[in-house]
Structure 1
Amino acid sequence: MARKKKEECKSIPGWLVSFGDLMSLLLTFFILLYSMSTISLEKFYQSIRGITEAFGGRTLTHEENIIKGKKIELNLPKMYPKIKKKKAIQKKLNEIKEMLERAGLKAEVVSHGSSIRLRLFSDRIFPPGSDMPYKDVIPYIMTFCEKMKETSLPVIIEGHTDNIPIHTKRFKNNWELSAARAVQILRLFIKCGYNPNALAAKGRAEYDPIAPNDTKEGRAKNRRIEFIVNLSV
């Protein structure tokens, strides 16, 4: 009796044959669609013109240049408006920082993503445990406000303290002190004519330190007022 020959390879599953036929038909279908389509240079030009003008480019007038396949120079003076706005605001805040430092008020400018912060360290602004600014400091705060008014940007004023507990007749804790200091600066901004709808005040107490509170220098850095300019709005 003859021995049955052993299969060298397994047979292909039936579903795989049908799947291959389906892919071939789909490929043929899309090739047919592409061969029947036509590329409209006029519509292509209109799309490019719309995108260019939306991003601040100049209006394109030489329509025939694109239709004939010629290159046309794109001028985008208003491209990336947020980046340019951020640079302008950062420059203004640096100018304000230099003005404040000439008056003996220690400050720094820090960029955080879409916002910029001007930190004003408060030992020279407020007496210990008080929310009322020194009288000789108020004119500089008002000048700061006048310069910021030109931007018409929203400003959040944050009060910060170190971690040394406070308990006075007026303030039971650092929360109340930091919030009161922020509100006092906000009142000065309103007095100088800043739009109240663009202002907000927050108290952060000792819960957002920028330096360790275990040294005198670190605690002095944490006692501060921050002016936060948000560029995403």
Structure 2
Amino acid sequence: MARKKKEECKSVPGWLVSFGDLMSLLLTFFILLYSMSTISLEKFYQSIRGITEAFGGRTLKSEDKIIQGKKVELDFPMYPKIKKKKAVQKKLNEVKDMLQKAGLNAEVVSHGSLIKLRLFSDKIFPSGSAYPYKNVIPYIMTLCEKLRDTGLPLIIVGHTDNVPIRGGRFRNNLELSAARATNILRLFLKCGYEQKALAAEGRGEFEPIAPNDTPANRAKNRRIEFVIDLSV
């Protein structure tokens, strides 16, 4: 019968292996914390610049002064713009509620630095006409009065569905949408909106917000949009 060999070293307890792994992970964690405590001013500035511009702030300049300085002093222009955006949205929502009470379909859409008030044009314009109904004009003037004091640049954009125009003074939907936007712009000028802050565009059927496959969807595409870009 073979003799059992004497163990030269005692085996390591199982718990000690787990404890060693835990210590290694803790050491790695503290090394990571230490590496994060050393900030590259250049990378920090680039990150802040990206966040600021993404939220509609102006483009930050003077990189050299910020990178070389001992103290990092950053201007966050996004905050005043966020406050301004909320104020504009409040005014547009007031107009939207007023229009809906009058039976006119409208909605406010916000994306990034852009805010849009959409007026669906079936009750704004007669079919094929570029002139708004007379009973709608006071509501358009009220919208102008709400936005006039902000002094913000405003683009009035006309849209249509894809049903071709047959007869009448306009050759196609693009001409009709541009004429509608221009006539709304004239009302804003009459209201006292600053001329250099206004622009009118016609997009025709080329920027639909719904498929032109049903009467209800085509009605959504027939619209006038008042577009405010807070990043300008």
TM-score normalised over the length of structure 1: 0.67
| Runs of 4+ in structure 1 over 6 Å off | none
| Alpha-carbon distance between aligned partners in 2 of 1:138 and 1:104, rounded to the nearest angstrom | 14
Q: Is residue 2:128 matched to residue 1:112?
A: no
Q: Aligned to 1:206, what secondary structure does the other structure show?
A: coil
Return 5+ residue gaps in structure 1 as ranges. 1-42, 56-77
Q: Is residue 2:200 matched to residue 1:198?
A: no
Q: Aligned to 2:203, what secondary structure does the other structure show?
A: strand
Q: Residue type of the partner of 2:204?
A: A
Matches within 5 A, 1:24-39: none
| Alpha-carbon distance between aligned partners in 1 of 2:167 and 2:187, rounded to the nearest angstrom | 24
Which residue is 2:134 aligned to? 135
Q: Which stretch shows the higher mean deviation, 167-176 or 128-137?
A: 167-176
| Alpha-carbon distance between aligned partners in 2 of 1:207 and 1:113, rounded to the nearest angstrom | 22
Q: Residue type of the partner of 1:146?
A: E
Which residue is 1:145 aligned to? 144
Larger radius of gyration, structure 1 or 2?
Answer: 1
Q: Aligned to 2:228, what secondary structure does the other structure show?
A: strand
| Alpha-carbon distance between aligned partners in 2 of 1:115 and 1:80, rounded to the nearest angstrom | 15
TM-score normalised over the length of structure 2: 0.67
| Alpha-carbon distance between aligned partners in 2 of 1:224 and 1:96, rounded to the nearest angstrom | 16
1:195-229, Cα deviation, whole Å (9 max, x unpaired): 01000000000000001111010000000000000
| Alpha-carbon distance between aligned partners in 2 of 1:201 and 1:168, rounded to the nearest angstrom | 24
| Alpha-carbon distance between aligned partners in 1 of 2:229 and 2:167, rounded to the nearest angstrom | 34
Q: Aligned to 2:110, what secondary structure does the other structure show?
A: strand
Which residue is 2:184 aligned to? 185
Which residue is 1:80 aligned to? 79
Matches within 5 A, 1:37-56: 47=71, 51=73, 54-55=75-76
Q: Kindly, what percent of the aligned residue pairs are identical?
A: 70
| Alpha-carbon distance between aligned partners in 1 of 2:78 and 2:195, rounded to the nearest angstrom | 31
| Alpha-carbon distance between aligned partners in 1 of 2:169 and 2:120, rounded to the nearest angstrom | 22
Return 5+ residue gaps in structure 2 as ranges. 1-68
Q: Aligned to 1:80, what secondary structure does the other structure show?
A: helix
Which residue is 2:120 aligned to? 121
1:163-204, Cα deviation, whole Å (9 max, x unpaired): 000032310000110000000100000000000100000000
| Alpha-carbon distance between aligned partners in 1 of 2:90 and 2:227, rounded to the nearest angstrom | 15
CA shift, 1:80, in A, is 1.5
Q: Residue type of the partner of 2:147?
A: M
| Alpha-carbon distance between aligned partners in 2 of 1:194 and 1:152, rounded to the nearest angstrom | 8
Cα RMSD between the aligned structures? 1.6
